């Protein structure tokens, strides 16, 4: 018999961790290769982790609600033949053995738990000595002493969920807090004001529900969305621009063909397909807009893959139209329709969510006329297409006319993009849209 490890897969291009939402198997269950083992949430997609082997589930290493980095072991499976040694790598290491005998192929525990820049090394206690990178990073960012945290995970492991509860409550255990408090009183008789200066701040009181309030549980998908939005706002310096576009000719053209198009193609031709086409064309001319921040460099992407926001009843998904610059208006419209149906029926796959390079959001479908989107990390920009409304406009000849106007709102990562290139890009999108008409535009 051999013990094989099942690891957290990478379910997206920029995905670095996933949360076990629900186990679909239990120890002792027989599974075939490709059978689903667990439901996993990331900031991009909810997906099932398939088995890579046929055999019997030996141990569930991660607990439900626990967040693990890509490549970390989530469970083990017993298969026929081979050596059973790998199972030892998957088990938590306790106490002194954690410092003396790191698992084969892994970094020594002392280095993993006392990373550079932290104020004090993290000292493991019992089964809690095996921390995931996500837990370590969260503890270091918030100066949490993991030795004082009680874990709710498998065999007492500390999970990301445990740390988030502490952070939300404000009652964060700090390394050396208990020892440091009495020291000033013993060593020097400080003035009366000194204790007040050194006393720790009172923890923030958790928000309590009042009678009649409705408490809505936070789903894994909502947590993932929140984490990604927070990461984007914290890391990317957002700037914002808006341009006004006269789409009267486009509206007339689309209205003149929509009935015949629906009868012929079987789906509605929407304004949004024209906007995605215009953005795709402009991205070819301004490739810097199709870039990403990569820490020590900027990566200008070759493919133009447009991310679009699609909402189901309970979550927001961001599927991708691949190589949108090579597609016609009809091709884009068909793909938007198919992706929306997949999202609402729960059939989106991880492949549908990967590879986006620029996001176009149809906020106008809700009647919005002006908004500021949060950039879809790690992309450099997101454009909001607002509602088309009729407004009085002073024409070049001085006459006032009712025109169909739309606002295009652009949020940009100022590390990658500057106002000049963004202004030129928006002006080009405006030019393309204002020249779309029955005479010079084809949907095919």
Q: Which residues pair with 384 in a beta bridge?
A: 361, 409
Residue corresponding to tokens 């051999």: 2
Query: Is position 414 annotated as part of the catalytic site?
Result: yes
Nearest residue to 65 (alpha-carbon basis) of 191, 155, 193, 162 = 162
d(CA 224, CA 12) in angstroms, rounded, equals: 13
Burial of 380 (0-12, 13-18, 19+ CB in 10 A): buried
Residue of 141, 168, 177, 418 marked active site = 418
CB neighbours of 413 closer than 8 A, spacing ≥ 6?
A: 236, 237, 238, 293, 375, 379, 380, 381
Burial of 165 (0-12, 13-18, 19+ CB in 10 A): middle
Query: 135-161 burial by CB neighbour count: b if 16+ within 10 A, else e?
Result: bbbbbbeeebbbbebebebbebbbbbb
CB 279 within 8 A of CB 334: no
Rounded alpha-carbon distances, angstroms, from residue 411 to 305, 353, 379, 380: 18, 21, 11, 8
Q: Which two tokens stand for residue 196?
A: 């007040």
Query: Is position 418 annotated as part of the catalytic site?
Result: yes
**Residues counted in the chain:** 444
Q: Catalytic positions, please?
A: 414, 418
């Amino acid at each position: 018999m051999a013990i094989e490890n099942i690891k957290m897969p990478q379910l997206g291009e920029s995905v670095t961790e996933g949360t076990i939402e629900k186990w679909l198997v239990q120890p002792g269950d027989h599974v075939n290769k490709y059978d689903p083992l667990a439901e996993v949430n990331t900031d991009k997609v909810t997906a099932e982790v398939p088995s890579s082997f046929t055999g019997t589930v030996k141990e569930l290493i991660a607990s439900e609600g626990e967040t693990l980095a890509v490549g970390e072991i989530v469970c083990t499976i017993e298969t026929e033949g081979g050596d059973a040694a790998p199972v030892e790598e998957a088990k938590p290491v306790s106490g002194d053995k954690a410092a003396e005998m790191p698992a084969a192929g892994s970094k020594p525990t002392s280095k993993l738990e006392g990373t550079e820049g932290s104020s004090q090394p993290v000292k493991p206690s019992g089964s809690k000595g095996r921390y995931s990178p996500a837990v370590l990073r969260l503890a270091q960012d918030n100066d949490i002493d993991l030795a004082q945290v009680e874990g709710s995970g498998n065999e007492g492991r500390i999970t990301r969920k445990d740390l988030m509860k502490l952070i939300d409550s404000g009652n964060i255990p700090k390394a050396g807090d208990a020892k440091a408090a009495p020291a000033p009183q013993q060593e020097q008789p400080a003035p009366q004001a000194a204790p007040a200066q050194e006393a720790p701040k009172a923890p923030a009181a958790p928000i309590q529900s009042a009678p009649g309030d409705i408490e809505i549980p936070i789903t894994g998908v909502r947590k993932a969305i929140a984490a990604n939005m927070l990461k984007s706002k914290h890391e990317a310096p957002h700037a914002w621009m808006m341009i006004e576009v006269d789409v009267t000719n486009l509206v007339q053209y689309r209205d003149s063909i929509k009935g015949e198009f629906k009868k012929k193609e079987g789906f509605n031709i929407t304004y949004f397909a024209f906007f995605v086409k215009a953005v795709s064309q402009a991205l070819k001319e301004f490739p810097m807009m199709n870039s990403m921040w990569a820490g020590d460099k900027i990566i200008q992407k070759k493919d133009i893959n447009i991310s679009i926001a699609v909402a189901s009843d309970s979550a927001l998904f961001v599927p991708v139209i691949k190589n949108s610059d090579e597609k016609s208006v009809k091709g884009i419209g068909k793909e938007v329709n198919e992706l929306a149906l997949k999202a609402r029926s729960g059939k989106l796959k991880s492949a549908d969510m990967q590879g986006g390079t620029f996001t176009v959001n149809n906020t106008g479908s809700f009647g919005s006329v002006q908004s500021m989107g949060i950039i879809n990390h790690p992309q450099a920009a997101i454009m909001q297409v607002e509602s088309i409304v009729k407004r009085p406009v002073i024409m070049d000849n001085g006459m006032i006319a009712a025109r169909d106007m739309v606002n295009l709102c652009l949020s940009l990562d100022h590390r990658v993009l500057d106002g000049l290139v963004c202004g030129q890009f928006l002006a080009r999108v405006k030019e393309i849209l204002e020249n779309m008409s029955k005479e010079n535009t084809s949907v095919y």
